[in-house]
Amino acid sequence: MNLKEVGFQLRQVLEKEELLALAARIKDNYPYCIEMYNTLLLTARGLNACFQYKIYVPRNDHESHIIISRSLIEWKNMSIYCREEEVPLLIKVMKGSHFLDIVKELPVNIFFISNYQLDAVLETLHIILERHLQKNQESCYAYETRQESPLRCPAGMKAQRLGRAGVQKMLESNENWKVASLDLTCSLAENLPMLGIYLDPDVVEEKVIDLNDISFAEEEATPIAQVGSTPHGTVGLLWTEVKYRRRGLGSLLVEVMGQLQMSVGYFPHGVVVYNNDASAQMFEKLPGWRKTHCVNRIIPAQ
Note whether 176 and 255 are same-domain residues: yes
Q: For residue 84, what are the domain limits?
A: 3-131
Note whether 120 and 253 are same-domain residues: no
Region 231-250 average pLDDT: 87
Note whether 213 and 120 are same-domain residues: no
**Higher per-residue pLDDT: 297 or 96:** 297
Does 139 map to a domain?
A: no
Note whether 286 and 157 are same-domain residues: yes
CATH number for position 66: 3.40.630
**Cis bond leading into 31, ω under 30°?**
yes
**pLDDT of 6 above 60:** no
Note whether 111 and 203 are same-domain residues: no
Does 231 map to a domain?
A: yes
Note whether 175 and 243 are same-domain residues: yes
Does 192 map to a domain?
A: yes
Number of domains in the chain: 2
pLDDT-derived band at 2, boundaries 50, 70, 90: very low
Rg (CA), the chain: 20
Region 76-82 average pLDDT: 89
Global pTM value:
0.90
User: What average pLDDT does the structure give for the chain?
Assistant: 88
Note whether 159 and 251 are same-domain residues: yes
Q: Poorest-confidence range of 30-34, 123-127, 147-151, 287-291?
A: 147-151
Name, of 23-27, 144-148, 166-170, the range with top average pLDDT.
Answer: 23-27
**pLDDT of 283 above 60:** yes
Quickly list DSSP for 87-148: HHHHHHHHHHSTHHHHHHTS-S-EEEEEHHHHHHHHHHHHHHHTS-EEEEEEEEEEE-S--S
Residue percentage of the chain with pLDDT more than 90: 59
Does 160 map to a domain?
A: yes
